[in-house]
A and B are shown apart, each in its own frame.
Chain A
């Protein structure tokens, strides 16, 4: 099978316009004759649902959350990029495109990224019109801040709660459609399988989390906007319930999983304090605007930070990357911090962090300005650690944050299974091997508001007059039975270990062997350990309670079961990619001074994996990446 990316012809700046004109349209009166199932109500899902419903399609929306507003997107703090050039500092669509391609280490599809940069400006307008209270300057105009990986100020923000405000905007637009009757909403409902008929996505199988009922839903198209899989590591900055289940089950039904090894490690998280740690908390990257990162020059320095004079501190990012300083992209900052901690200069009781110091900023700007910019982040830090960042430097350490990999999609955001569309973090599309800060929100909303509403018509138009597959079709019955069996099986094992316990074990194997840096040896080790954990899980997990009432252990068990299968693919991909790029850093492939060494001659492709069965080797399909505009260069932030 060959992957058709459907990238339109023409100069990069015209591709999207050409494409919009070229796609087939569905007549307004006919739209209501199409049923579209959208799984997920994050930025991508909610914005798509609202926009499609408004166009007139018949939309069903599924989320396992108790309200669409709780999707993980709500947790994004820092901001959203857009090439508005409001700051008059030389920003443009082309620059945002270029920064994103470069930030992604030349592993993203040019045409998609250019389109993303193009529609970024519309997103801001749309959100302002919806009442998103972006930060403003005294003159009443929108404020911007700068973010890692960019030398212009193009990030729009709403205090430290940008994701929340954007999601509320999309959620409200969605609820308006619910009110108008064009969206049917299924909260507390989890998608547990994708139904494929004759190679086309025909519907999904769901489980009602309150009653345990398993039921099917059919539609002309299925849209997955189910977020990322960072929780495969157990500890990550993702919300506790984020998972790979929807994407993985689609993958088991034939959708290709692309670049699963690209995981982003975020440099500014609060270090773990003990084994009971349930998740890691991100401190927004915007802190790096004014905070300076350092470690003591001396190893195992026992002094408290205020006792260490400035010339005995190593501001290692400023030293190594003078041009970008503390604002180097995430992967670079993370690896640098890891290097310091590994060399014995880590700080804090567990020696597992580096300082992020606001002392200088407070001297330079005054407490009020620092407070105005960061007070809520400082409060959050203090609540968690019990330390006051106004007086004691913060301690930070990298943590798993975002997953660039995801289901493979073409320019229309359709996967290799016709009728299955994938949006947001769940797809692989726009960030290559590393995502720049404030670009995920942009991508989620771009996909949902401004891309899918145009491209879905191209698939649907020829289907006019066809009924969606009846839910008593054997394809549905089989899938339902499959889901039922898994539930029953999980409840019947009654072993000796809890789900979390096994998940933690998996997470540790991945973090140690397929985390911030990887080697052939560590990856091979992981590949041998994961199947054993999976076996242990199916023999020895203990899931109590029943199917018929709310059972969180059961939900968790199903998700961990999928992580256990997916993890293997992730490691497999990491092993196969014999180069270092972005979030994928192979110790074997680096320059003399320790920076990532890309291999454009052999690895400038998207690795899309076809599932062949649990424990079986997957099949690799390559989509070559061609760079006509942003020519691959060594990513240097020095």
Chain B
């Protein structure tokens, strides 16, 4: 008994900016709607936040020792021990991560288009925003920066295409070598600042999108976002900075990843 056809009002001059298609499985119908897409964005955003947090914490092993970091990378590939063949579970997680990114970005893209259509004619006088902050108004830009960074990051540390000294299976040396180059360190720093802004708004916004609203904890939502963004920012900034300031063991490629670097072979 649903219809979007306007009733009988002959004088109505407004044109829809899009058609809502009906039918199909509930989940598809749900994702067609903007509210549904935002819900998906929030859930995928939450998953991504989980990943970023886990990733940051994992990377902190950098400060323990070279072998710890490399063993950590190794351990990830090995979970859950011998219950599954090596890397199967990791791939599972990676696929989840990729899907999260894909949906997050697709939803962001399609909603951005919708929003453009919703106001084709811009305001001619400058807006004076009251509540919208820098973070909320730059979500698309910070998102794109993070995306570009991610591509570079994968080329740099996962596939090695952007890293001349790349050795598969030796994340420590790859990383330290990479971050030792000042421009690369700057890229990491900028990207993580963008990410922090993205999370500053996103970490709060997702509660609204998911409908998690309750006077008893509403204040906590903003605190959560601020805390989370700050945590990720601080954590992730330590890596490029530590390498730049020589606070971690220098990279020494072409050695056994688990061994300590000996003096002679160091670069």
Q: Which A residues lie at the B interface, using CB under 8 A?
A: 175, 178-181, 183-189, 208, 210
Q: When the two chains form their complex, are residues B7 and A178 in contact, meaning their CB atoms are under 8 A apart?
A: yes
Whole-angstrom distance from the CB of A100 to the nearest CB of chain B? 37
Q: When the two chains form their complex, are residues B11 and A186 in contact, meaning their CB atoms are under 8 A apart?
A: yes
Residues on the A chain within 8 Å of B9, using CB: 178, 184-187
A175 closest partner in B (C-beta) = B7
Residues on the B chain within 8 Å of A180, using CB: 7
Scan B1-40; emit 1 where CB is below 8 A from any A CB, else 0: 0010001111101000000000000000000000000000
Q: When the two chains form their complex, are residues B11 and A208 in contact, meaning their CB atoms are under 8 A apart?
A: yes
CA of A185 to CA of B11, assembled, Å: 8
Q: When the two chains form their complex, are residues B7 and A181 in contact, meaning their CB atoms are under 8 A apart?
A: yes
Q: List 25 A-B contacts (CB under 8 A).
A: A178-B7, A178-B8, A178-B9, A179-B7, A180-B7, A181-B7, A181-B8, A183-B7, A183-B8, A184-B8, A184-B9, A184-B10, A185-B7, A185-B9, A185-B11, A186-B9, A186-B10, A186-B11, A187-B9, A187-B11, A188-B11, A189-B11, A208-B11, A210-B11, A210-B13
Scan B96-127; emit 1 where CB is below 8 A from any A CB, else 0: 00000000000000000000000000000000
Residues on the B chain within 8 Å of A175, using CB: 7
Residues on the B chain within 8 Å of A186, using CB: 9-11
Residues on the A chain within 8 Å of B10, using CB: 184, 186
Contact-residue bracket for chain B: under 10
Q: Which B residues lie at the A interface, using CB under 8 A?
A: 3, 7-11, 13
Closest 10 CB pairs of A and B: A178-B7, A185-B9, A179-B7, A184-B8, A181-B8, A186-B11, A187-B11, A178-B8, A181-B7, A178-B9
B5 closest partner in A (C-beta) = A179
Further contacts, 5 of them, CB under 8 A, given A179-B7, A185-B11, A186-B9: A175-B7, A185-B8, A185-B9, A208-B11, A210-B11
CA of A41 to CA of B10, assembled, Å: 17
CA of A178 to CA of B9, assembled, Å: 8
Residues on the B chain within 8 Å of A189, using CB: 11
CA of A180 to CA of B1, assembled, Å: 11
A179 closest partner in B (C-beta) = B7
Residues on the B chain within 8 Å of A179, using CB: 3, 7
Residues on the A chain within 8 Å of B8, using CB: 178, 181, 183-185
Residues on the B chain within 8 Å of A210, using CB: 11, 13
Residues on the B chain within 8 Å of A208, using CB: 11
CA of A210 to CA of B7, assembled, Å: 20
CA of A341 to CA of B7, assembled, Å: 54
B8 closest partner in A (C-beta) = A184
CA of A188 to CA of B11, assembled, Å: 8
CA of A121 to CA of B114, assembled, Å: 48
A210 closest partner in B (C-beta) = B11
Residues on the A chain within 8 Å of B11, using CB: 185-189, 208, 210
CA of A187 to CA of B14, assembled, Å: 13
Whole-angstrom distance from the CB of A630 to the nearest CB of chain B? 45
Whole-angstrom distance from the CB of B15 to the nearest CB of chain A? 16
Whole-angstrom distance from the CB of A136 to the nearest CB of chain B? 20
CA of A178 to CA of B12, assembled, Å: 13
Residues on the A chain within 8 Å of B3, using CB: 179
CA of A242 to CA of B11, assembled, Å: 22
CA of A210 to CA of B10, assembled, Å: 13
B7 closest partner in A (C-beta) = A178
CA of A181 to CA of B9, assembled, Å: 9
Whole-angstrom distance from the CB of A32 to the nearest CB of chain B? 14
CA of A69 to CA of B8, assembled, Å: 17
CA of A183 to CA of B8, assembled, Å: 7
Whole-angstrom distance from the CB of A39 to the nearest CB of chain B? 15
Residues on the A chain within 8 Å of B7, using CB: 175, 178-181, 183, 185
Identify the interface centre among A181, A185, A188: most chain B CB within 10 Å of its CB: A185
